[in-house]
Structure 1
Amino acid sequence: MANEIQRQLVIIGGAEDKEGDCIILREFVRRAGGTKAKVVIMTAATELPREVGENYIRIFERLGAEQARIIDTETREDASSSTALKAVEEATGVFFTGGDQARITSILKDTDLDAAIHKRYAEGIVVGGTSAGAAVMPDIMIVEGDSETNPRINMVDLGPGMGFLPGIVIDQHFSQRGRLGRLISALAQQPAVLGFGIDENTAMVITGDKMEVVGEGVITVVDENELVHNNVDEILRDEPLAFCGARLHILPHGYKFDLKTHKPILDGRSVVNNEGNELAASVS
């Protein structure tokens, strides 16, 4: 029986190492096929597509990819280009650069190119993104917001994402910009029950339902699956948000998390306490 195709994502919190060991980008290239990797670089998010795209071409080729090329989409019409569609069809990896996540969705969402990338993703190629390219991965994304500790409804604006990882919300540059408040605010306003805050030079590397942390920072996981109370329906937009009963996980490099069971994994098993019961959180 053929092996089930595992969908792969490399979601980076921004400011990834591009000059040294490039651990995260190296992992992306490895998953895309190593020396046989054919990577397309999506520059829709940035206002400097040529400069940013050529920098990633140099990096991916230095890491051993067979081919790296830019798909520059300045307008939605560009997202129907036969050249771009052919490049995606031949690619083994698709990488979204940083910039402005709203530019990605306004140009690409619900286009022929969007459909082509999702088709190839379902077939098993790796899709990656950094900063804005990470923000667009859920079906509902953080468009923009204030970095404040105390969550309020009006501190974050949400919008449709690209839908590679539905049912979650992602924030990036997380610890560096103090974004716990806005991640909680985003979670409180939409159906997703898992929130991931990804530090800079840190990535969520996902295969199927399993996530592994790669990089120098941590990933903060907020799980509201068993939330007992919030006051979203009782407050005005600028008033403090209550958020009671959520679970918090802090996961550094090498730690894993099961996206289906919502539990951290240590040595191939969920974390358990002395009584043999599964624990909700793993803090290292």
Structure 2
Amino acid sequence: MEQVKGKLIALGGGDDDGLIKLIRSEICDRHSNIEVIATATPKSSDAVDSAKAYKEAFEELGCSSVHFMQIDEEHEADLPENISRIKVADVIFFTGGDQLRLAKFLNGTKLLEIMQRRYREDDIIISGTSAGAAVMSDRMIYDGYGHYSLIKGEMKTTHGFGFISNVYIDTHFAERGRFGRLAHAVAHDPTHIGIGLSEEMGIIIKAGDQVEVFGPGVVTIIDASNIKFSRVRKAEENEPIAVENLVMHLLIEGYRYCLREHLFQPVEHQASFVNGNAVEVHK
């Protein structure tokens, strides 16, 4: 995993007030350029309504430069105006909906290529909720339901946006019974770490490596790097899979997971002083 300057902020869906406030807290300048992309929403009119709602939410928190761009069947990604705006964006925010739509309209575009480069090289925030979170990694899960997802052929993946590699991010994790499909995905691709985000739960990924948590509950980490036995690839279609030594971690606020080292650890705190008063800040 290469060192990157940008941050990824992903939410598992549900109430996203906390996500909007977190993004606002991460940008010091209220004039920062925020671009909302609602491509994941199937109907064009609904996508515009969703984008406008997020624009208003950011503006209510004092952000003065919030825009949205339509990218869909009738609006191509690589318009000169879109490219110009993405080149100066400080925050790029993907709404929820259908991650396959995001992949369909953005994968292979110059616009996404610029986003990927800027994430590596610039101090930029890439954020999303639900589908907008699931699409962030190099591979994404788009199908698999309940216990059926532990049957060969029932869990399906495809190419994501590739801001980060060797990670699967799954959303609505507890609410829609998605443990099985995330476990299946990482067992099939043991180089990948699985991150399960329930609703109102989110992560910040710093330097392309350090996964920290925000929200009131638990983020699930599934690590297949030490599997001893697996029938995932050898199983026939419609057969259940078998895996030995799949490791799971439960991550809450105040702890992080380092992807490169497969390391669970507390977030260190250090004292800082504001107007002469000691306050705690995260390292």
Partner of 1:250: 250
Measured at CA, do residues 181 and 115 of structure 1 come closer, stay the same or move farther in structure 2, by a change above 3 Å? same
Query: Which residue matches 1:10?
Result: 9
How far did 1:137 drift?
0.9
Structure 2 counterparts to residues 1-284 of structure 1, below 5 A: 6-17=5-16, 22-47=17-42, 48-75=46-73, 78-122=76-120, 123-148=122-147, 151-190=150-189, 192-208=191-207, 209-268=209-268
Shift of residue 156, structure 1, vs aligned partner: 1.3
Aligned partner of residue 34 in structure 2, secondary structure: strand
Q: Are the aligned partners of 1:149 and 1:180 in contact in 2 as well (CA < 8 Å)?
A: no
Per the alignment, do residues 171 and 266 of structure 1 end up closer, same or farther by CA in structure 2, a change over 3 Å counting? same
Unaligned runs of 5+ residues in structure 2 are 270-283
Question: Shift in Å at residue 233 of structure 1?
Answer: 3.3
Give 2:223's aligned amino acid.
Answer: D
Deviation at residue 231 of structure 1 after TM alignment: 0.5
Alignment check: 8 A CA contact 1:196 1:221 kept: yes
| SS of residue matched to 2:182 | helix
Tell me the equivalent position of 1:278: none
Letter aligned with residue 115 of structure 1: E
Q: Distance in 2 between matches of 1:199 and 1:55?
A: 22
SS at match of 1:52: helix
Whether contact under 8 Å (1:140, 1:169) holds in the other structure is yes
Equivalent position amino acid for 1:227 in 2: I
Q: Percent identity?
A: 30
Does the Cα contact within 8 Å between 1:172 and 1:200 map onto a contact in 2?
Answer: yes
- CA change 1:147–1:46 in 2 (3 A) is same
Name the CA distance, whole Å, in 2 between partners of 1:267 and 1:116. 32
Deviations 1:61-119 (A, max 9, x none): 11222211111101386111111111111210000111110100110011111112112
Q: Runs of 4 or more off by more than 6 Å in structure 1?
A: none
For 1:244 and 1:54, how far apart are their aligned partners in 2?
48
8 Å CA contact 1:29, 1:37 repeated in 2: no
Cα deviation for residue 11 of structure 1 reads 1.0
**In the TM superposition, what is the alpha-carbon distance from 1:27 to its structure 2 partner?**
1.3
> How far did 1:149 drift?
7.2
What count of residue pairs does the alignment treat as equivalent? 262
